[in-house]
Every structure is written in C-alpha cells, then in structure tokens.
Amino acid sequence: MAVWPLVVALLCCIYGITSTPLGNNVCVVGGKVYQEGDTFPVPEMGGKCTQYKCHQGGYKEFKLECEDRLGICKPLNAKETVNCVTKQCLTGDSGTIFYIQTEISECMDADGQCHKPGERFPFVIDDVKKQDCTCTIVSPNVTYSCH
C-alpha cells in the first residue's frame, strides 16, 4: 500500500492547502479567501483604515485613510488639531498613510487652551503662573513672553 498519497492528504489538511484552483474571481490575503470585489483591511500593510479590494485574483488599494487619536478613520487630507498643533492625513512616497505635523498656528496657555499670537493669556514660566503672556510662532518654534 502506498503511504505517499495519505501523507500528502494529511499535510494538505494540516496546512489548509487545497488542490482546487481558486480562479481569477477570488484572492487570498493573509490566509483568508476573498471574492472578486470584496474589500478588506490588511493591518500589517496600512492599519485598519486602509482598505483593499479583491481584483482579478490579486488586490489593490481601495480606500486610503488615517486613524486619528480616537481610533476613527479619516480621509486623506483631513486635518486634526491637538494641543494647538495641526496634523494632516497624507500619503508617503511608498504609499504609506500617516498623519504628519503640518503647522503650529496657535500657542497653548497654562490651562491647555489655544491662543493666536498677540493674544494675552496665562502661562507658566519657572513654575510660576503669569497672567499677562503672549507668544510668537516661527514654525516649528513657539516663543512665550510674559510681563
């Protein structure tokens, strides 16, 4: 009795290998089978916010977005301001999607509020809270002065 066909069948079962051709209407990504037109994330290639589409036996980028600080997917070019610093969802040369700091347009006061240069606000210098302060911005640097 030949043992070889039994070994092949056992290996196919263990590793999930199929001898049935998948054809051009499906794609296999990360061990999962998708039908033509299905969309899916590939976390190791773009996080949860980049979606790919099964297309002619392969897959291609379908929706490129950035994950913001709250875990919400935002479209390309979307801006988010946190702590008076604005970041924008952009794509890099290699097709990677990420947020990049694009501008500092306001200054943060002692209470975490944002102010435009020239406005007066409280600020802490040398552990002392001063009440009459202002700032100047020459991006990426912010300079504070108090009276």
Residues in contact with 118: Cβ distance below 8 Å, sequence separation at least 6, in sequence order: 134
Tokens for 82?
């946190």
Compute the average pLDDT of residues 51-55: 89
Domain limits, the chain: 22-63, 67-104, 106-146
pLDDT in tens, 54-66: 988 888 888 888 8
Mean pLDDT of the chain: 79
Question: Whole-prediction pTM value?
Answer: 0.58
The answer to whether residue 95 scores a pLDDT higher than 70 is no
Q: Is the peptide bond before 140 cis (omega within 30 degrees of 0)?
A: yes
Which candidate, 29, 27, 144, places its Cα nearest to that of 84? Answer: 144
